[in-house]
Structure 1
Amino acid sequence: MVRAGHTGGLVVDFHGDDDRRVSYDFGPLAMPGWHPILAEALALRVGHSGGIRTLAGCRNSWNSTKAWIQFLVSLEQPPKTVDGLTREHVDAFYTRPGFAKSTRHIQMREMSKQFENERISRRLPSDAWDAFNRRLPTLKQSGVGGYSHGELERLTAAARADVAQISRRIRAGEQLLRQARDDPGKLDARQRELGETLVRIAETGEIPLLEGDRNWLRRRADLAGHLFMTWADLAPLMALLAIVTERNGETLKELPARHRLLEDRAVEVVLVKRRHRAQQWFETVTWEIGPKSRELHTPGGLYLLLLELTGRSREFCGSTAAICFWRNNWAVADRNRSEHFAPFEIDLGRGSKIEMSAWAATRAKPVLADPRPAAKAKATEDAPEKEPPVPLVVTFNKIKTSMDARRTRQLGGHLPSSAKSNTAQVLFANYLKPDEATREWAEEVITEALGDAEQAALDAHAAVAGRGGGPKVITDDSSAQQLEEAGLAPQTARDLSEGNLDTAWTACEDHDHNPETGAPCGDSFLACFHCGNCLVTRDHLPRLLALLEALGGLRQRMSEDDWWKRYGPAWVAVRRDILAKFSSAEVSKAQEQSLPDALLDLVEPPWEQP
C-alpha cells in the first residue's frame, strides 16, 4: 500500500504472510520525479497480489529500488522522470562497473519484476521496457554438499553432548532454586548465598550488573546460565535441532511455543514453510517424544526440552516463540529493559549470530573435518606430508543436505518417499545432486544394479543355452567341403555355404524342428543365439557386429535394467560365445567392411522399439 508519509514523501507498507511488517519511505531518496512510479511498482511487488511475501524478500526489493535510484543519480544526464528513460540507460544499469555480476543480475531481475505489471510497464518507453523485459542468462549456482558419514556422526555427538550439559546446568539451577525457597537450612553457606540470588533473579528476571568485578560481564553470563539459556548455548542446540528434526534453519528459528500433546507420545506443532505458494506457508507435523532418556534423540523430546530450557525467558519477554533466552546486554539492563528476548521474532537475519562453526572449533574437543588426501611426497626420503586437521564448517544448509541424503539412502533412493519438506525435484536438485557422498553412494548402487542385471543376463543365457545346446561356431573357411569336415551333413554344408539357411544374423540348421519342442520354430531371431540349431560362420561377422552396434545405441536410449532384460542375453551370447571364438584379426577385418543394416525391425515392430 502506498501512502503519504509524515515528511511529505511516499511510504510503502508491507505486511508479510509471516505477520512481519515494515514501511519504506521514499522521502529521503533522490530523483523525486521517479518516486510515484517506483513506489507504486514496489507496492504491487510486495502487496497481497505480488510475489514477495517475506520480510527478507521485501528488503531485497527495496534495496534494488534504491540501487536503481543511486544508478540514475550517478549518470551525467540522468532522466528526471520515467519519460526520459532509454534502452541505453537500462543496459548501463545491467553492465555498470564496480558491482559483482551476481549483484547486477539479481537487481536487474528484481527491477524487471517490479516493472512487469501492466499498470507500470505501459508507462515506460517501449524501448526501455523491452530492455527490462529481456531474457537474462541463468547464473550458474553451485549447490551445497553435505557431510561425510564420519563428519555427521562427530557433529551429532558433539551437539548432543553440549546440549546435555546445558540441560544439566539449568536443571541443577532449578533444583537449587527450589531448595532455597523450600528448605534453605539444608544448604551450605555458599549454596545458600547463590540460592538467594537465584530467587531474586527468578522473581525479576534481572541479573545484577556486578560492575565492581574485572570480569563482570563473564560473571553475569555465568550467573544467568543457572536459570536461562544464553547466546553461547544457541549454536549446539540449533545444530542438534537441525539434525534431529531434519528441518532447515528458517523453520527452526520460527518454532512456536504453542503445541499439542498426543497422549504423551507425540507432540503436534505447526511449522512455517517459507517460500511456498500462497496458502501453503504452514505445515502441521507430529514429532515422536520417546522416553525421557532419549529426549536428545527424538524431535518431540528435543522440542519439549527446548521449551523447558527457555520457559523462564519466555515469561519475561512475553513472546510466543520457542527460542527465547537471556542476552548479556548491560546497556539494555541499565535502562531498566529486559535482557530476555526472542531474537528471530522480528527478523530472521539475527541468525547470523548463531556461530555454529565457531562453536565447533572452540569447544574443548573440536569437531574436525575429514582429513584431506595426503600431499605429494617431497623429492626426499620423507613420508608424504599430511595436512593438519581443520575444524568442521557447520551450516544449516550442510546439515539439511546431509540429513536428506541419509534419509534418501535409508529409503533406497526412492525420491517421492524421501521428500519430506520439499518436492522430489527440489530435493534432488538442491540437496542430493551437489552432495558428493550421495553421488558416491548412487554410483555404488548403480554399479551393483548393473552387475546384478548383467549376472541375470548371463544366468538366463546359460540356462537357455544349457537346454538348447548353444550355437555351433565354425571358424574355418565357409566352403561346403570345410563345413562338411567340421561335422555338418553334406546337404546342410552345401545349403549353409550358399546362404540358403541364413536368418537375420546367423543361420538355422533345422527350422522345422526346434531342439526343445520338436515343432517348427516360432521364436524371435534374438533367441537363435541360445539354440542348438544356430550356425555361425566367418561370413556372419559383419551382421553380428552391426547388431552389436545397434544394441549399443539402444542402450543409450533406455534404462540399463530394461536393456539387460530385453537384449542382455543375446548381447552376452554374441560377445562371449561367438566373437570370442574368432581371432581379433578376423573381427577387425569384419569391422573394416561396411556394416549392413542391423535388421532389428525383424524382431520387434517399430512402435515397440525404445
Structure 2
Amino acid sequence: MTRRGRGSTGPGRPSGLPADGYQAPPPVREGTSGELIVDFHGDDDRRASYDLGKLPMVGWHPLLAEALALRIGPSGGHRTLAGAKVSWGATSRWARFLQTTEPQPTVPEKLTRAHIDAFHARSDASLRTRYGDMLEMRLQFGDSHLKGRLPADAWDALNRRLQKTMSKAVGGYSNGELDRLTAAARADTARIARRIRSGEHLIRQLSDNPAQLDSSQRDLAQTLAAMAATGEVPRLDSGWDIRRRRADLASHLALTWGDLAPLMTLLALVTERNGESLKELPARHRILEDRAVELVVVKRRRGTKRWFETVTWEIGPKARELHTPGGLYLLLLELTARSREISGSSSALCLWRNGTRGVQGRDEHCAPFEVDLDGSSIAMSSWAATRTKPLLADPPAPAKAKKNQAGKAPGEQEKTSAPKRPTPLGVTFNRIKTTVDVRRTKQLGGHLPSSAKSNTAQVLFTNYLKDDEVIREWGEAVITEALADAEQAALDAHAAAVGRRGQPTVIPDAESSQQLEAAGIPSPTASELADGDLDTAWTACEDHDHNPETGKPCDDSFLACFHCGNCLVTRAHLPRLLALLEALGTLRQRMSEDAWWERYGTAWVAVRRDILTKFSPAEVSKAREHPLPDALLDLVEPPWEQPYGPTA
C-alpha cells in the first residue's frame, strides 16, 4: 500500500489493499525456546514485545498471553506504549503474586475467591496500585473471547464493585505564580535563542568576513563550523568537567537536556496543550499568508481514529515570537534545525545528548521522545528552584486569629509561630494545563462548551476545573453575585407591586377580635378575621370582591396576596407561612435558579422581608416546633403550570 492521505480514495479509486499473500501477524507468537511473546504496535507507531517466559506460573501463560494480546492488540483498550506498560505491569504482578499463595493455583481452573481476595488485600502495594491491578485484570479476563475461562466463583470475586481511590486534586497556580512562571520561562527561552543564534552568526561570519573576528572568536567559529559540517562534538582530552564543557560547546548550535524545562514550560503556557502533545509536535507544517502556521497535533485518549487534530496557531510579529503559539513553534524549529537534520527525525523537538560509550558522534543528536514519552528527564521543578532567581510559591494564607483563652492577662500577646521558609514552586504539565484552562474559562464567562479547547466540556470540568481552588472561589463569587442580582430583582418587583396594590397588614400580637380592633381593624372585619372566615391559602383577605388595581373581584394567584393591600396576616397564619417557605425551598432544588426566581422569587422575598420580620424570633421558633405539611402550593396553580409535578 503506497497511497496515503486525503484524496487517496474516491469514486473509481478504491482503498489500498495489502499485497497478495499478506498474513496478519499472530497476536501471540512462540519464541526460540517455546516461550510465549506478545508484540505491541501502537497507533503512534511505537512498539514493544512482552515475554511471558520471564514470569512464573507456567500453567497460566496461555491465558495471560491471550488476555494481554486482546487488551493491547489492534482492537484493545490500550493503544499507546504507556498503556501497554500498565497492562504488562498488572499481568506481571498477578503472576508473581499467585506464585506466593498457598495452595498455589497452578492453572486458571484452580483459582478461587480466596486468591482474588488476597490479591486485592495484599500488603506489599499501595491502595491505588491494588485498585488499578484489580481493574486491569478484570478488563483482561472479562473480554468476550475469554468468557468462562475462570471459575464462576473467582470471576464473581474479581468482578466486584471496587471503591475508587481518591487522588489528590491538582490545583493550578495563583495569578502571581503564573506571572512569575511565565516571565521566567520566557526570559530563559530568549537566552537559549540568543545563544544558538550567536553560534550560527559566528559560522556565517567565519565564511563571509573572517577578518572581523578576533583570535578567540575565530577558534570558536572554526570549531562550530566543523561541528556543523560533521554533526559531531569533539571529544575533549582532559579535565574533571569534560561532560559539562562538551555540553557547553554543543549548546552553541543545539538544544541540550537543560534547555527542555524552560522551553517546554513556555510551550505549555502559550499553546495551552498538554505535555504529551508538545513532545510529539511534528516538524511538518504549513504557513498561511505569513500570519499563522498549520500543523497536525496528537491528542491521545480520545478514542479510535480521533487522535489527530489540525490546529492553526497565530505567528504574530517577530518581536513577539515568545508570546504567540505559532511564533514559538517556528522558533523551536529554528533552534532544533541542526539536530533534526543530523538525526533525520521528523519531530519538531530534537536535541543533543551528552553520549556515553554506546552513543557517540552523530548519534548524540536525537528526538528524545520519539521512542518513549517518559518525561522524567524534563526537570521543570528543578529548573524553577535552581535558577539564578528561583521561582517560589505564594506564602500560605495567614491562619485566622484565635480568640483569647480565659485566664489570660489583659493585653497579653498571643505567641506566633516563626514564618515558614519560602517554598519552591513545583512545575508540572498538569498544573500548567489546569491553570491555562481556568484562565480561559474565566475569560469566557464560565461557558464550558466555549472554554473546551483540546478536551470535551465534561473532561474539562471533571479533570481540570472541578477541584481547582481558584475556579471554585471564582464560581462561588459569580453565583453569589447572580443570586444577589436575582434577589434584588425580586425585591424591586415586589416593591413595584406594593406601590400599585398597597402593603399587606401584619398584626403580630393580636388574636381575638378585641385585640384586632385595638390594632386598628374595623369591628366586622376583626370578628371575621378572628374566626378564620377571611382566610385564603396562607393569609386572609380583607376585601376579596375589590381588587386594589381593578376594583373587580380578585382572580389573582394566592401567591400575589403578599403584595396586596387587602392582605391580612396574624399569628395564626405563621405556621402556614413557614410551611410555604419549606415547600418553596423544596421546589428550588428541583428547578433551575432562573426559573425559580422568576416564578416564586417575589413571594419568597415578601414573606421573608416584609412579613416574618414583623414577628419576634421567639414566635417564629415556637411556630417551627409544630410544622405543618404544605398541601396548598400544588392547589393554588393550575396543574399545567406546575414546573415539576406535585411537591408533596
TM-score higher than 0.5 here? yes
- The equivalent of 1:447 in structure 2 is 480
Question: Within 2, Cα distance between the matches of 1:265 and 1:339?
Answer: 35
CA displacement at 1:499 relative to structure 2: 2.3
Counterpart of 1:345, as a letter, is E
Alignment of 1:386-405 (within 5 A): 386-405=419-438
1:88 CA displacement: 2.5
Partner of 1:91: 117
Counterpart check, 1:212 vs 2:244: no
Aligned amino acid, residue 434 of structure 1: D
- The answer (yes or no) to whether the contact 1:231–1:325 under 8 Å persists in 2 is yes
Q: Distance in 1 between matches of 2:132 and 2:195?
A: 47
Q: Which runs of 4+ in 1 moved over 4 A?
A: 374-384
Say if 2:614 is the partner of 1:581: yes
Of residues 335, 360, 384 in structure 2, which corresponds to 1:360? Answer: 384
AA aligned to 2:209 is: D
Matching of residue 347 in structure 1 with residue 372 in structure 2: yes
**381-390 vs 439-448, which deviates more?**
381-390
Distance in 2, Cα, partners of 1:223 & 1:434: 46
Instruction: Tell me the percent identity.
Output: 68
Q: Which residue of 2 aligns with 1:529?
A: 562
* Preserved contact between residue 468 and residue 515 of structure 1 (Cα < 8 Å): yes
Q: Would you say the 8 A contact 1:375–1:384 is kept in 2? A: no
What does 1:7-46 align with in structure 2 at a 5 Å threshold? 7-46=33-72
Residue 137 of structure 1 deviates from its aligned partner by: 2.3
Residues 487 and 91 of structure 1, relative CA distance in 2, 3 Å threshold: closer
Distance 2:467 2:618 in 1: 46
* 8 Å CA contact retained: 1:375, 1:386: no
Instruction: Give the aligned partner of residue 572 of structure 1.
Output: 605
Is contact 1:148-1:437 (8 Å) kept?
A: yes
Gap change, CA 1:573 and 1:128, over 3 Å in 2: closer
Distance in 2 of aligned mates of 1:123 and 1:564: 59
Q: Does residue 308 in structure 1 map to residue 334 in structure 2?
A: yes
1:509 is matched with 542
Distance 1:159 1:520, change over 3 A: same
Q: Aligned partners of 1:394 and 1:594: how far apart in 2?
A: 56
| Residue equivalent to 2:393 | 369
Give the number of aligned pairs.
608
Q: Measure, in 2, the Cα distance between the counterparts of 1:240 and 1:404.
A: 15
* Alignment partner, residue 465 of structure 1: 498
Contact map agreement 1:247 1:421 (CA 8 A) in 2: yes
Match of 2:319 in 1: 293
Displacement after TM superposition at 1:168 (Å): 1.1
Of the structure 1 ranges 192-201 and 128-137, higher mean CA displacement relative to structure 2 is found in 128-137
What SS does the aligned partner of 1:141 have? Answer: coil
Shift of 1:131: 2.7
**1:227 aligned partner:** 253
Q: Deviations over 1:398-443 (max 9, x none)?
A: 1111111111111111111111111111111111111111111111
- Per the alignment, do residues 542 and 114 of structure 1 end up closer, same or farther by CA in structure 2, a change over 3 Å counting? closer
- Structure 1: runs of 5 or more not aligned: none
* Letter matched to residue 361 of structure 1: A
SS of residue in 1 equivalent to 2:595: helix
User: Is 2:146 the partner of 1:120?
Assistant: yes
CA change 1:592–1:12 in 2 (3 A) is: closer
Do the aligned partners of 1:325 and 1:342 also contact (CA within 8 Å) in 2?
yes
Cα deviation, 1:59-117, whole Å, max 9, x if unaligned, reads: 11112222222123223442332233333223322223322222222122212211112
Task: Confirm or deny: 8 A CA contact 2:510 2:519 kept in the other structure.
Answer: no
**Partner amino acid, structure 2, of 1:395:** T
Structure 1 Cα separation of the partners of residues 569 and 447 of structure 2: 45
Question: SS at 1:22's partner residue?
Answer: strand
Which ranges of structure 2 fall in alignment gaps of 5 or more residues?
1-26, 403-411
RMSD, aligned α-carbons: 2.2
Contact kept? 1:142, 1:434, Cα under 8 Å: no
CA deviation vs aligned residue, 1:547-579 (integer Å, no higher than 9, x gap): 222223323333334333222211221222222
Deviations 1:274-321 (A, max 9, x none): 112111111111111111111111111111111111111000111111
Return the letter of the residue paired with 1:57: G
Contact 1:374 1:385 in 2 (8 A): no
Paired letter, 1:138: K
What letter is aligned with 2:188? D
1:62 pairs with 82, 88, 92, which one?
A: 88
Distance 1:256 1:376 in 2: 52
**Is 1-10 or 474-483 further displaced after alignment?**
474-483
TM-score by length of structure 2 reads 0.89
Work out the CA distance in 2 between the residues paired with 1:589 and 1:430: 47
Tell me the distance in 1 between the aligned counterparts of 2:606 and 2:55. Answer: 79
Number of the residue aligned with 1:140: 166
1:498 maps to 531
Aligned letter for 2:562? F
Q: Is the 8 A contact 2:261 2:378 kept in 1?
A: yes
Distance between the aligned counterparts of 1:602 and 1:31, measured in 2? 72
Stretch moving more, 407-416 or 94-103: 94-103
SS at 1:268 equivalent: strand
Cα deviation, residue 485, structure 1:
4.5
Mean CA deviation greater in 124-133 or 193-202: 124-133
SS in 2 for 1:283: strand
Q: In structure 1, how many angstroms separate the alpha carbons of the residues matched to 2:599 and 2:203?
A: 75
- In 2, the alpha carbon distance for the partners of 1:317 and 1:348 equals 18
**Residues 381, 322 of structure 1: alpha-carbon distance in 2 compared, 3 angstrom cutoff:** same
| Secondary structure, aligned partner of 1:13 | strand
Tell me the secondary structure at the aligned position of residue 261 of structure 1: strand
Q: Secondary structure at the match of 1:455?
A: helix
Could you state the TM-score of these two structures normalised by the residue count of structure 1? Answer: 0.95
Secondary structure of the structure 1 residue equivalent to 2:357: helix
- The letter for the 2-side match of 1:396 is F
Select 1:408's aligned residue among 433, 441, 446.
441
Q: State the alpha-carbon separation in 2 of the partners of residues 354 and 594 from structure 1.
A: 64
Q: 1:95-144: CA deviations, max 9, x gaps?
A: 23322222222122212211112332323333233333333222222321
Give the direction of change, closer, same or farther, for the CA distance of 1:213–1:427 in structure 2 (3 Å limit): same
SS in 1 for 2:54: coil
CA contact (8 A) 1:159 1:240 kept: yes
3-state secondary structure, aligned to 2:287: strand
Tell whether the 8 Å contact from 1:332 to 1:338 is kept in structure 2 after alignment: no
Cα 1:409/1:24, change in 2 over 3 Å: same
Q: Which has the higher helix share?
A: 1
TM-fit CA distance, 1:58: 0.8
Q: CA deviation at 1:185?
A: 1.2
User: Residues 543 and 598 of structure 1 are in contact (CA less than 8 Å); yes or no, is this contact kept in structure 2?
Assistant: no
The aligned residue for residue 72 of structure 1 is: 98
Are 1:41 and 1:114, in contact at CA under 8 Å, matched by a contact in 2? yes
